[in-house]
Structure 1
Amino acid sequence: MNVSKVIKTIAISLVSVLVLSGCDAAKPQDSGNPQDAKQIDILGTVISVTRNQSGDILGTIYVEGETGFKPYDKASIKVTQKTRIYEKTADQEVNAIFDSLKKDQRVEVSFIGPVAESYPVQATAGEITILNDEQADKRASLGGIRLGDSQSQVDKVLGSAFKEEVYDEPGHFPEAWKRRVYDNGMTIIIGKNSGQVLELETTSAQFPTNRGVKTGDMAKDVFDNYGSDYKQMESRHGEGMLEGFYELGEGQLIIFDLDKADNSLLNQNVKADSRVEMIRLTRDNFID
């Protein structure tokens, strides 16, 4: 027996075992749960859906993210044959198709492949989940802030860059109040005692309503959007229906002001090219 050859063979075998063991040790463990690796790249509202099937591409959706969400706040997203689409309710999550995607839906999207870092970014959807929590979707909001939200909830969304004035006389509000004017175009009225949002308004397109409407939008489009589901408010002074005033239920009222410079919320002489300059979310009993 050639002893040196046997020793050499054993040595080679040991090295092979050690190398293979090292490879196994370096391999990351897979939990088997696909959700572990899932990253939500944008959570927000579908502003538009373009159906343009061309080969593998079914179409494109444009999504505006909720205020403060990262990493992306706006995105133009291609939907392909390989994109997984789901529809989620409080009870279950079911498979959906491209035609299930509609304007004003709330969605969360995970990207796949490279992202074009333009603004807004351009990406391809790996997975889209339509969020059908109807109660949450229908609650009126501006930039994700709602009447009755707490001061701490407002701080999480808007931060601390504001100027504040305190009014001890309630006026048409039910309590003394604080007026916060933010650098980014949002104004919030907060109850001094309750610490809750009593009223809010914005002049910035950065803060859309829960139905995707924002300042700068054409008045006709906005009125069609809200007029399809909500009743116009009637003047308490016999002036008929108030254009741009919509009753949202439970005493909530949204006002779209088309001419902020006139210092009046009333919209007169609405023209074909009129645009929204200010949006106010309030309560109907706060209006004279």
Structure 2
Amino acid sequence: MGFKVAAIQMCSGTEVERNVGTLETLVRDAAARGAIYVQTPEMTGALQRNRKALFAAIRPEETDLVAQAAARLARELNIHLHIGSTAIDLGDGKVANRALLFGPDGKKIASYDKIHMFDVDLDNGESWRESAVYQPGYEARVVSLPFARLGLAVCYDVRFPHLFRAQALAGAEILTAPAAFTRQTGEAHWSILQRARAIENGAFMISAAQGGVHEDGRETYGHSIIVDPWGKVLAEAGGTGEAVLVADIDIAGVAAARSKIPNLKNSRDFSLVDMA
């Protein structure tokens, strides 16, 4: 039995209230098109490189504007709404890059704090130190929903396949990596990483993304994507601007892919011998 899922592409600015307004418009569009699971990108609430301005804009989860709007929309539209992530004030100068999942009753089902921090030095002087602002999480999460088992991850996590393998072994049928991929890394790796995580785990991969030039000066790759367990791209957005991707998926496709290539079952423990 199939159902519709949606990935929301945004180009979040620095003002949380305006981003929440965009979120509401796009989520309503997705629900009107029949999606029962809707996912938004990483940093839905705001993309803000200035540390002082970021701390002035964010709130604890209990009063966070994105969380409040998501709970209300999930209840009103009778959907599962997955906020890919938003910045949450933890107090004492600490911030979480936190995913939030709400059910049709408006109650939070789960949260997940991004584990892997994007600390990189790229070509052309592009450098990021996510760990300078955000406190990493320590727990991977798999959630049972009425229609599937869902694994939670965020952006840079997609480069760590053992996280997704652990989720698949725990029964995850849908994997996720909502993101704000830089244009430089996205052009090189986004699509292949998304398809690889789907193929190697025999699972659907749904990743909503930020796309375009943002108010804080960064440029993100976009190309929000939905991939089936055989690696087929079911839907993909363009590189810039807002978009609502909707696709029909059938969880039976997971069992079909895993029966054809049962690598989850065929995996074996081994030891590594260094012959140097």
More strand by share: 1
The structure showing larger relative contact order (alpha-carbon pairs under 8 Å, at least 6 residues apart) is 2
Class of the TM-score when normalised by the shorter of the 2 chains: under 0.3
TM-score (norm: length of structure 2): 0.24
TM-score (norm: length of structure 1): 0.23
